[in-house]
Structure formats: C-alpha cells, structure tokens
Amino acid sequence: MLDLTLIPPDGVWVPSPTFFLPSPTEGTYPDPTQPARIQRAVDVETQVAHSIFLARSGVTGIVLLGSTGEAIHLTRSERSALVSAVRRGLQDAGFPDYPLMAGVLTNGLEEALEWLDDYARAGVQWGLVLAPGYFGASVGQEGLVKWYTAVADRSPLPILVYNYPGVTNGVTVLPETYRVLADHPKIVGCKMSHGNVSHHIQVALDPAIHHDKFRVFSGLSSQLGPVVLFGAAGVIDGLPAIFPKTVVRLMQLAEKANTKGLKDEERTELQRLQYAVSLAEEFVMRYGIIGIKEAVFRVVGFGNLEGGRLPIPGELPEGAWDKVKMLFLQAIELTEASL
C-alpha cells in the first residue's frame, strides 16, 4: 500500500530566501570571544517569522535552503540550526508537521547524504536534490540515473529531482530519465526550473510513470496554469514568497478547472491571475535572489536591502524597483490585498 506520508502534497511551495542580519554599523565590533565573521550572520528570528507568515497565507509548504535560500553560502551548522528553528517555530505557531523541504546543493555523493541526514534530524520531510552539474557536458543521463539512485538508496528522506540547468552548467534531466528515476520508491517527484513546458507535460502525462507517487513541480509560477492543466502538481517558486495568496488562488482555480470545471467568471479570474503572475515572474527571473529579497522586504516587510551573502550582496539598481512596481507589481499587489 502506498505510504502517502512520503509524497509531497500538490500545491504552491515557496523556496524561501535565507535572511541575514544587517552588516555591523561603523564603530561596532564583533564579540571578541568569537571567531571573526566574514559573512553576515543568519537572521533566524526573521526566517521563522517569514515561514509562519507563509503558512498563514495558505501555501502548501516551504522549501528551505534551495537556490533562492543560498544553501551553498551557509555552513553545515548554520543549515541545521536554521531548519531546526523553523520547524520549532512552525510547531509553536500551531502548524505541527507543516510540509518542509530542504535543498541539497552539492555534487559529492557522501556530502549529499550528510545534508540529508542533517535535514532528517532537523525535522524536514523531503530533500530537494540538485542535479550534479559541476562537470557539465561530461554528465550524461546514465550518470544522472546512477547518482540519484545511489543517493535515494541511502537517504533517510524521500527526495525530489531538482533540475535547474542555469546553475548546473546546462545539465538537463530528460523525460526518459525521469521515467527511470520515478520507479525508485524514494524518488517522489521533481522540480523543473527551466522554460521547457514540453518536458513538464511529457513527464506529468507519461503513462509509464506512477503519478500517484511521483509529483511534477514547475519552478516558475508563469507556467502554473498551463502545466497544472496537464497533470503537474504545482509550483516551487519564489514569487509566492512575496504574493502568496495570489499564487495560491491561481493554483486553486487551475485545479478546479481540471476536476469540476469553471464558471465563466472563474475562467476570467484564472486568466487574469495567470497574466498578472506571468508579468510579475519577469521580475523574479530578471533580478533573481536580490530581487526576491528586496521585494520581500518592500512588500511584506521581512529582511533588509543588503541582498545575499558574498558574492551577491547589494540591492536593485537605482530606480529599478519603482519601474517594475509601476509596470506590473502594483497590479498584483492590489490582487493580493483583495484576497
């Protein structure tokens, strides 16, 4: 019998940015009893507060320490402490067993298992494992199958295949490779962070894949309606970190269109929301982590304007926020408030 606790639920997942404390102001010095700090410290309190905000906004789950979460910029102890704190914070806020995923962004097989062991102890239910792409063109589909199989065989958590060619030297997991990996009992889904909607649809509709235990998520809310209408489970995307209710409502309408059908006014709403979300996604794609962090600060009030850790500190170019807000963010902000 299928163990449903192993399967990530359908819906809108948010890859949360990792929050950092502001840089020390001039004339202040770190604790002399502690080692000198090069990077800004993790702001665990804000991380927990933003996670509770997302849970209250109706998103299905949160992905900690993915690409948006800058997992590669944190130490092992920082990652463990952050995940543990978020789990405790959600529990204390009335969200026991809230769905949490965490990113595994390393090419080393043994190290990937270390990350997964740490996450399991910290209370995460799923690992989102990035395709190993350091050697890029040398990584073939057979190598991907063997690598993911070795990870899944030994992982304490069920895992999802995370395919983000933009950060893995162009490595792309092909539809026929997902077909093989989906047979593994502990490989329970995938996140496709690329614009190839055909791959989403091929995998989501592949009759050789057991879709009751393998979920397909897009990494882009701009694709939500189209991919959900053809069998995908939802999205894992940074936009709902800023506008969670809007993306959740879009997901609800797409699911209803698939099952019960929509009234004319609901179909109009679905199209309006998908248009607004697709426009807003351009902002996320253009400015990446720095843009997401600035928008989270300006729209929902979490974090600061110092960007990420080195080598991606800073804020948007001068005037960029006003320009994108005027073009499309303002419209979706009004939608968010109405929901």
pLDDT band at 334, cuts 50/70/90? confident
Query: Do the Cβ atoms of 221 and 235 come closer than 8 Å?
Result: yes
Sign of torsion, CA 136 163 54 320?
A: positive
12-26, 59-73, 145-159: which range is least confident on average?
Answer: 12-26
Q: How far apart are CA 114 and CA 119, in angstroms?
A: 9
Query: Per the omega criterion (within 30 degrees of 0), is the bond before 311 cis?
Result: yes
d(CA 164, CA 141): 15
Q: Is the model more confident about 34 or about 148?
A: 148
Query: Within the chain, what is the greatest distance between any pair of CA atoms?
Result: 66
What's the predicted TM-score (pTM) here? 0.93
What tens digit of pLDDT does each residue of 153-210 get? 999 999 999 999 999 999 999 999 999 999 999 999 999 999 899 999 999 999 999 9
The set of residues, in sequence order, having a beta carbon less than 8 Å from that of 98 and lying 6+ positions away, is: 55, 61, 62, 90
Q: What is the pLDDT of residue 304?
A: 96
pLDDT single digits (tens) 284-316: 999 999 999 999 999 999 999 999 999 999 999
CB contact set of 88 (below 8 Å; sequence gap of 6+)? 48
Domain assignments of the chain as residue spans, ordered by start? 4-260
H or E stretch covering 101: strand 100-104
Provide, rounded to the nearest whole percent, the portion of the chain with pLDDT above 70: 95
**Is 35's pLDDT higher than 80?**
no
Q: What is the mean pLDDT of residues 250-268?
A: 93
pLDDT at 27: 45
Q: Which 8-state DSSP code applies to residue 269?
A: H
* Cβ proximity of 159 and 187 under 8 Å: yes
257: tokens are: 């269109």
The answer, yes or no, to whether residue 337 has pLDDT greater than 90, is no
264-280: average pLDDT:
92
CA angle 107, 238, 21 (to 5 degrees): 80
Residue 28: is its pLDDT beyond 80? no
Q: What pLDDT sits at residue 33?
A: 58
Per-residue pLDDT at 29 exceeds 60 = no
Mean pLDDT of the chain: 93
pLDDT in tens, 44-69: 999 999 999 999 999 999 999 999 99
Provide mean pLDDT across the span 101-127: 97
Instruction: Give the residue, 155 or 33, on which the prediction is more confident.
Output: 155
- Please choose, from the candidates 185, 108, 203, the residue with its C-alpha nearest in 3D space to the C-alpha of residue 147: 108
The CATH code of the domain at 4-260 is: 3.20.20.70
* Residues with a known catalytic role: 162, 191
Q: Note the pLDDT tens digit of each residue in 230-245.
A: 999 999 999 999 999 9
Statement: residue 253 has pLDDT above 60 = yes
- Asked whether the predicted pLDDT for residue 119 surpasses 60, the reply is yes
- The confidence score (pLDDT) of residue 34 equals 56
Q: List pLDDT tens digits, range 123-136.
A: 999 999 999 999 99
CB neighbours of 299 closer than 8 A, spacing ≥ 6? 242, 243, 329, 333
